Amino acid sequence: MSKTENRRIGSFVVLDLETSTYDGNLRNLSIMELTMYGFPAKDLQTDPIRVTRTSEMCVPPPSPNLNKLTLIINPRRVIYPKSTDSTGLDNNMLENESHFDENCACLIVNFLNRLPQPVCLVAHNGDRHDFLIVKNMFNKLSMKLPNNIHFVDSLHAFRRIDFDPTFQTRPNGKYTPKGVYKLDNIYKRNFKKDPDLRHQAEADVETLTHLIRVYGKSFIAYAEDRASEFICSDERK
């Protein structure tokens, strides 16, 4: 993963996936639902909002330049009840949907290409999940994302920004307690309520987009310092 050389980001694209049941091998996961929200980086040119236990904050309004892409996809794998319970998707519901093919990949590429460049993808825990799965799906088709696409994991971004001294690896040299930076918990800490919906790709993207706007200019600074190029391997998986 090649690190971005402190370049200015033109757009952020917030990404979330819902996938088939995990069997212990990420390469066997298949996408059932994919959502992307794209907006210009200038929308984050606001001061970070500092939240206290007693502060009350309204959910920020959406960007006036918000672009959206949601795809429902037949994973061509068994969807077990546990996945259905959390996502609301099952094999019967998806049997007539297209699978992740070249048309699907081209829709994603075209969506990214039409936004102000360069584009930075953002996903929560994306380094261990969303980014790996997208790379694997593109590799299977021997396709790549466009040049000038970068990525950053919001889980690491939020944690390191909160404990700044300039984006240290671990806050105060220690790991934060488990669950503190789970997406739902960050949202509740900021807005004093649970997200309206969870474990649906578009709902989770909307939640993450609201949180990125809370961090404002600090998120841009982190992304421009830490984002890496999104490189798909030439090797067919």
Successive 10-residue mean pLDDT values, the chain, 237 residues: 66 94 74 96 81 64 90 91 86 93 97 97 95 94 93 95 60 63 90 82 94 93 95 59
Two tokens, residue 191: 């807005």
Displacement of CA 226 from its chain's centroid (Å) = 15
As given in the structure block, the two tokens for residue 224 are 């421009």
Whole-model pTM: value is 0.87
Q: In terms of C-beta density within 10 A (0-12 exposed, 13-18 middle, 19 or more buried), how is residue 199 classed?
A: middle
Q: How many CB atoms lie under 10 A from the CB of residue 73?
A: 23
Q: What letter represents residue 11's amino acid?
A: S
pLDDT for 87 equals: 87
Based on its alpha-carbon atoms, the radius of gyration of the chain, rounded to whole angstroms, reads 18
How confident is the model at residue 85, as a pLDDT? 83
What is the predicted pLDDT for the residue at 165? 52
* DSSP per-residue letters across 34-76: EEEEEEEGGGG-SPPPPP-SS---PPPPPPTT-EEEEEE---S
pLDDT at 60: 75
Q: Which of 189, 176, 183, 207 is nearest to 54 (CA)?
A: 189
CATH 3.30.420.10 fits 11-229, yes or no: yes
Instruction: State residue 167's pLDDT score.
Output: 41
Alpha carbon distance 147, 114 (integer Å) = 13
Q: Where are the chain's structural domains?
A: 11-229
**Cβ density class 202-231: b for 16+ within 10 Å, e for less:** bebbbbbbbbbbbbbebbbbbbbebbbbbe
